Amino acid sequence: MAGRRTDTRERIQQVALELFAEHGYEKTTLQEVAERLDITRPALYYHFRTKEAILASVVDRLGESIEELVTWAKQQPATAEARQEILRRIAGLLEDQWRPLFRFAQVNQGIMRQSAAGERLQAGVLSMLSLLATPDAGPVKQFEARLAVFAVIIGNVPSLFDLGLEDSERTAVALEVATKLITDD
């Protein structure tokens, strides 16, 4: 039964983010979320009482996955292979679970700036930025390492890089560019 509850919560989160991105956070109602899911409002309220609760739960899940990634990455050797694997894992998480939140954040920047969820998302992204730079790297390499993380992230926001590619193709291009940025010359 717990698995079913988790699946329902994840479906609610996914659909709510889609609606928030389509119509805007402020204009989306919980009734619309329930209708898109083909469930009753009381069923939705069982899982989430407010839009804020849905958004907070999505960002909490993202924050946990970022913390896990950062913890894992800090345990890796400072090698080119490890940095490339970090980029691959960031890209994988974007494809798997982060993309809808980043799309939402891009469309709903005002809400993200004003909310605790937005602050947590920003803190998570900032914690990832330093993962690829080696401690003794000069300013250019430090900058390139940070740009590599941003390349993977923004490559997953179609409105920023609409090259006529499917999501997976755009992710692959972003990962290739990011890898070039961290590869030693």
For the stretch 82-98, pLDDT in tens is 989 999 999 888 877 77
Q: Is residue 56 part of a domain?
A: yes
Q: Residue 88: inside a domain, yes or no?
A: yes
pLDDT 10s digits, 35-70: 999 999 999 999 999 999 998 888 888 888 888 999
Q: Are 86 and 73 in contact (CB under 8 A)?
A: yes
Record the pTM.
0.78
Instruction: Show Cβ contacts of residue 142 under 8 Å, excluding neighbours closer than 6 positions.
Output: 133
Domain that holds residue 56: 52-182
Residue 152 lies in a domain: yes
Express each pLDDT in 130-173 by its tens digit: 888 777 888 998 899 999 998 998 887 766 667 788 888 888 89
Residue 8 maps to a domain = no
Is residue 174 a contact partner of residue 151, using CB atoms and an 8 Å limit? yes
Structural domains in the chain (count)? 1
